[in-house]
């Protein structure tokens, strides 16, 4: 029983990390129709900005409110970089899909190279708050607190995104833009501002994933965002392109499947099963769990 509880909660912790990255991808694709392969860069910026702030920003530190300040600095840094990327590199390329892919892939590679040139290619120990180093006993299982923190953060982000999309003016514009971007533009609403806002929100969520992922893994490295981005894309496709709720469902499925199969099977078998799940979903329900069937 204890093993099942431990695997379930650690799997949910991994799912929470995937969701934090995938939620921004889902929003950006749903509204702006952009496959942003540079999304992992926002995660890396958030992770390194948090790591830097914990040791250099006045008032910040590795524990308590100091770490909250450091993480907030990382989230803001990720949001600002995402806004700049949208304004400078993505906005001129809307409706030019191939150029978007080339630019974002190139930016992703350049971003990793820049992080390596600035802080080196080797992983650096991440400043983890003391509480996150411990465990909490739940139903006989000793669950790492870092995983519980990720689950809490993902629930808060999911609730915040749904509340924003449902009850704010820009949230309504974003939802309407996802349904019919041309109609929203015809009504005189500047959808471009919503594009920039969505990129900022996605960058902030990815940066938060970078900060909390540093706690989860215990270190930060330039290529960390790229490896997580692969699973985030899988989550987005399984959940349904553009659906935040679908991304949450898919993240839970992927995280639990990966954790249980890796434990009871051979090492790496979980990753194979995740890819197999992706193939099954694409064959049986191409629009994803919460996606809508395309109409002619």
CATH number, domain 2-284, options 1.10.3470, 1.10.3210, 1.10.287, 3.30.60: 1.10.3470
Angstrom distances, CA of residue 80 to CA of 84, 105, 196: 6, 19, 10
Alpha-carbon gap, residue 40 to 233, rounded angstroms: 11
Give 25-73 pLDDT, tens digit per residue: 888 887 767 788 888 899 999 999 999 998 888 877 777 788 889 999 9
Give residue 267's pLDDT: 73
Q: What percent of the chain has pLDDT over 90?
A: 31
User: Cα torsion at 222, 258, 246, 33 (round to 10°)?
Assistant: 40
The pair of three-digit structure tokens given for residue 161, joined into one six-digit string = 């995104």
Q: Is the pLDDT of residue 254 over 90?
A: yes
Q: What percent of the chain has pLDDT over 70?
A: 95
Give 111-146 pLDDT, tens digit per residue: 889 988 888 888 889 888 888 888 888 878 888 898
Parse the chain into domains and list their residue ranges.
2-284
**Average of per-residue pLDDT across 80-106:** 85
User: Could you say which DSSP state residue 140 is in?
Assistant: T
């Amino acid at each position: 029983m204890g093993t099942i509880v431990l695997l379930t909660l650690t799997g949910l912790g991994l799912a929470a990390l995937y969701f934090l990255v995938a939620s921004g991808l889902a929003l950006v694709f749903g509204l702006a129709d952009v496959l942003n392969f540079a999304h992992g860069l926002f995660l890396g910026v958030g992770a390194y900005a948090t790591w830097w702030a914990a040791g250099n920003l006045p008032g910040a530190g590795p524990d308590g409110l100091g770490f909250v300040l450091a993480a907030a600095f990382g989230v803001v840094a990720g949001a600002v970089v995402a806004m700049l990327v949208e304004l400078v590199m993505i906005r001129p390329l809307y409706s030019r899909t191939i150029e978007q892919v080339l630019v974002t892939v190139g930016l992703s590679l350049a971003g990793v190279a820049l992080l390596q040139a600035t802080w080196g290619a080797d992983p650096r120990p991440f400043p983890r708050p003391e509480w996150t180093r411990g465990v909490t006993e739940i139903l006989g299982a000793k669950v790492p607190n870092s995983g519980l923190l990720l689950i809490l953060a993902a629930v808060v982000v999911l609730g915040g995104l749904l509340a924003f999309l449902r009850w704010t003016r820009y949230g309504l514009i974003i939802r309407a833009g996802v349904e019919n971007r041309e109609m929203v533009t015809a009504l005189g609403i500047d959808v471009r501002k919503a594009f920039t806002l969505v990129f900022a929100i996605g960058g902030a969520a990815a940066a938060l994933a970078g900060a909390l992922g540093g706690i989860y893994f215990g270190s930060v490295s330039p290529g960390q965002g790229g490896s997580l981005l692969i699973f985030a894309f899988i989550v987005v496709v399984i959940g349904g392109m553009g659906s935040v709720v679908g991304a949450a469902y898919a993240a839970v499925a992927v995280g639990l499947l990966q954790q249980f199969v890796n434990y009871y099977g051979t090492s790496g078998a979980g990753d194979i099963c995740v890819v197999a799940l992706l193939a099954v979903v694409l064959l049986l329900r191409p629009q994803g769990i919460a996606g809508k069937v395309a109409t002619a």
